[in-house]
Structure 1
Amino acid sequence: MGSILPLPRAVAELVRDGDTVACEGFTHLIPFAAAHEIIRQRRRGLTLVRMTPDLVYDQMIGAGCASRLVFSWGGNPGVGSLHRMRDALAHGWPEPLEIEEHSHAGMANRYVAGASGLPFAVLRGYAGTDLPEHTPTISTVTCPFTGERLAAVAALNPDVTIVHAQQADRAGNVQLWGITGVQKEAVLAAERALVTVEEVVEELEPRPGAVILPSWTVSAVSPAPRGAAPSYALDYYDRDNAAYREWDAISRDRDRFCRWLDGLRSEEAA
């Protein structure tokens, strides 16, 4: 567990056609390098899971990797829509896309239930929305103590979760810090887990508020410097705001997107 592997090999071994794949990271430490390697390896029929599918999933959807999306918000942060996602939904290009929509709280609780080995999670939510009418993984449950009617969401257990972190040691233990989102829960909920890292170090230096993923929770670690760009990695590099703005123009036009995709596929993974 926690073997250190080159990224192409790790993706080849851990990500399979038809898998449910979670690539998590909230504005920070988004695993772009791993997603791009999935695109290069032309995985198909994936169910993509992410609380906030932004550019990383727009690119994977446009590349034809996805048949389904499970999410709680989708957009290009601070810029606008995800045009490759919109094209797939409206026109089935390059592949038809099904969606399953949740609230942020619902998605977070689904990961927690999956990580805890529970079949579902309970929360106060979804009141006043029609999401329960359209989403089979949302239901209700009556509290056995108070009789209160509460929302219930099915546990989420991805086949593989992919996250990015700042560091791992040579034994495959991982440390990430800053805005950490639901990475820990998503990793613990998954059957397999791949972590890309900025660097492999001899020893992890304790940091206040850091999340530690012990090697036994991780299937593979892959060195990928700048593997979260154009998002950011705290203490390593800043968010590339220009890249998010540029993506809007690229994603709006199929021909321009296809040129971008050809360029990505011709590159080698870091």
Structure 2
Amino acid sequence: MAEFLSLHDAVARYVEDGATVAMEGFTHLIPFAAGHEVIRQKKRDLTLVRMTPDLIYDQLIGAGCARKVIFSWGGNPGVGSLHRLRDAVEKGWPRKIEILEHSHAAMACAFEAGAAGLPLAVLRGYVGSELPNVNDQIKFIECPFTGERLAAVPAVRPDVSIVHAQKADRAGNVLVEGIVGVQKEAVLAARQSIVTVEEIVEDLTVESDYHPNTCIIPGWAIDAIAVAEKGALPSYAHGYYPRDNRFYKEWDAIARDRDAFTRWLDENVYKAGGEA
């Protein structure tokens, strides 16, 4: 059952060195505040899972938190490469990391399998793809009913999943509104979970009637809830604030240079402290 904690305490309790950590949110509701708290607490040797690693994973990798990344696309949306990711893979700075690449479909199916408690996901995919040549976790099986050749990948079962959402109520239920990615599946697939929210309200069972495209993650599936206002910036939170497009463009220059990145990290994460 969900417990209300500070973001510092939630990360300290549930994110351990060496853990497999999923941080999900698609185009918006990306848990930047939580990621920054992971950096501030200097968590190490993490296996980071995300369908679309973008700036927050670039920052975590550049801060030396990651040893491996499991993903299906990595880049600065609309701008270009993730330079801290590239530097780590190509030149081992600040440390060498492993990468394991999947398709979007396989990642989504793997999260669903994890949420269902299944050991693997089966999909029609990877036909003609070269990914099986570089990812030994992609296997092919024969359907016992039709004889069809299908792809199979291991279920994603993180040690902890972290997502951001708009609201939680006093009972620990969480409302995710707008574009919904695999936040629900990531939480249900994880051994433990942290949800950061913009605000706490009394009762979502009444309030959710007035919200479009609503997903409710029940309190029994969540371990910790932490209030983090503007916790998704520079991404956006539907109904709360817009995307900071300027920062995404500025990040390209910041992340290209190790010294510029280190200065940015010191000024905007380490010295910022708190839960901004």
Hey, what does 2:171 align to over in structure 1? 171
Q: Runs (4+) of structure 1 moved beyond 4 Å? A: none
- What TM-score does the superposition give when structure 2 sets the normalisation length? 0.96
Query: How far 1:145 sits from its partner (Å)?
Result: 1.2
Hey, what does 1:138 align to over in structure 2? 138
Query: How far 1:172 sits from its partner (Å)?
Result: 1.2
Cα distance per residue 1:118-139 (max 9 Å; x no partner)? 1111111111112112212211
The letter for the 2-side match of 1:57 is: Y
Distance in 1 (alpha carbons) for counterparts of 2:67 and 2:121 = 26
The letter for the 2-side match of 1:267 is: A
- Sequence identity, in percent? 64
Hey, what does 1:15 align to over in structure 2? 15
Distance in 2 (alpha carbons) for counterparts of 1:2 and 1:243 = 33
Mark the runs of 5 or more structure 2 residues left unpaired by the alignment.
none
The letter for the 2-side match of 1:144 is: P
Distance in 1 (alpha carbons) for counterparts of 2:180 and 2:56 = 17
Cα distance per residue 1:201-225 (max 9 Å; x no partner)? 1122112321111111000000000
Q: How does 1:1-270 map to 2 (within 5 A)?
A: 1-204=1-204, 205-206=207-208, 207-263=211-267, 264-270=269-275
The number of residues matched between the two structures is 270
- What TM-score does the superposition give when structure 1 sets the normalisation length? 0.99
Greater shift in the superposed pair: 131-140 or 214-223: 131-140
Contact 2:132–2:138 (CA under 8 A) maintained in structure 1: yes
Look up the SS of the partner of 2:266 in the other structure.
Answer: helix
Contact 1:33–1:269 (CA under 8 A) maintained in structure 2: no
Query: How far 1:268 sits from its partner (Å)?
Result: 1.9
Query: How far 1:233 sits from its partner (Å)?
Result: 0.3
Greater shift in the superposed pair: 125-134 or 220-229: 125-134
Distance in 1 (alpha carbons) for counterparts of 2:155 and 2:134 = 17
The letter for the 1-side match of 2:143 is: C
Greater shift in the superposed pair: 165-174 or 126-135: 126-135
Query: How far 1:159 sits from its partner (Å)?
Result: 0.3
Distance in 2 (alpha carbons) for counterparts of 1:152 and 1:240 = 38
Distance in 2 (alpha carbons) for counterparts of 1:186 and 1:209 = 18
Mark the runs of 5 or more structure 1 residues left unpaired by the alignment.
none
Distance in 2 (alpha carbons) for counterparts of 1:95 and 1:180 = 33
Distance in 2 (alpha carbons) for counterparts of 1:137 and 1:269 = 39
Distance in 1 (alpha carbons) for counterparts of 2:193 and 2:180 = 16
Greater shift in the superposed pair: 131-140 or 142-151: 131-140
Q: CA RMSD in A?
A: 0.8
Contact 2:178–2:212 (CA under 8 A) maintained in structure 1: no
The letter for the 1-side match of 2:272 is: E
Distance in 1 (alpha carbons) for counterparts of 2:258 and 2:53 = 20
